[in-house]
Amino acid sequence: MGVAIPVGFGLVKMRWRLNTYPNEFIATCGVNNSLAHSAQEIADGINTILAATNHPGAAAKIAVGWSYRGTEATVMTATGPFTAEHTVNVTGTGSAPFPPNISFLVTKTTGRGGRSGKGRMFVPAMQVGESNITPEGLLETTPYNDFFTSWSEVYTAWDATDYPPVLLHADGSTPDHILAFVAQQTVCTQRRRLAR
């Protein structure tokens, strides 16, 4: 189910690519744009955060054969949406990758209770190799702590901007401010990410 972007808010796409695969792998998050930044300013700013050392767009955090491709931001105004991109090509130097249908889960927590108060992002499983996954499908402690810290740092930096992260809703109701990005220890699968 998609989300609606109310006026004064926006949506950021974070983009990665398996270099031999035809499609990009995208995670999304809403932004509060009450200060009316341009889509380009937001795309540039979030790209800077993601590409920082130890963050998910840094070469060492991307598996060999993968690349970080930048960001795309859409802002909703009274006259309609505006979109801009910040395109890069950061080639990974990290561990051997998983198959493309394996992903890591990052939850978006807010102050609202219930399912409507929590979102999620399925991010490519690039930060570790298969040897770092237990038979139960859990990230081992050290790589998990690294993954958790990486996304926590992204949240802290993003929340300090003039366009902090929010959880958008399908019905277009007022988005909720995100209080944390919480990386989960269990790996996930997404069958639609396999080429057909």
Q: What angle do CA 4, 9, 14 make, to 5 degrees?
A: 80
Q: Name the band, by pLDDT with cuts 50, 70 and 90, for residue 52.
A: very high
pLDDT at residue 96, rounded to an integer: 67
pLDDT for res 195: 55
Do the Cβ atoms of 5 and 30 come closer than 8 Å?
Answer: yes
> Which residue in the block uniquely carries the two structure tokens 């996930």?
188
CA dist 45 and 192 (Å) reads 30
What is the average pLDDT score of the chain? 88
Which amino acid type is present at position 183? A
Q: Does the pLDDT of residue 8 top 60, yes or no?
A: yes
Centroid of chain to Cα 33: 18
- Is the pLDDT at 41 greater than 90? The verdict is yes
The whole-angstrom separation of Cα 7 and Cα 79 is 9
- The helix/strand/coil state of 140 is coil
65: nearest Cα among 29, 122, 25:
25
Compare 8 and 190 and report the one with higher pLDDT. 8
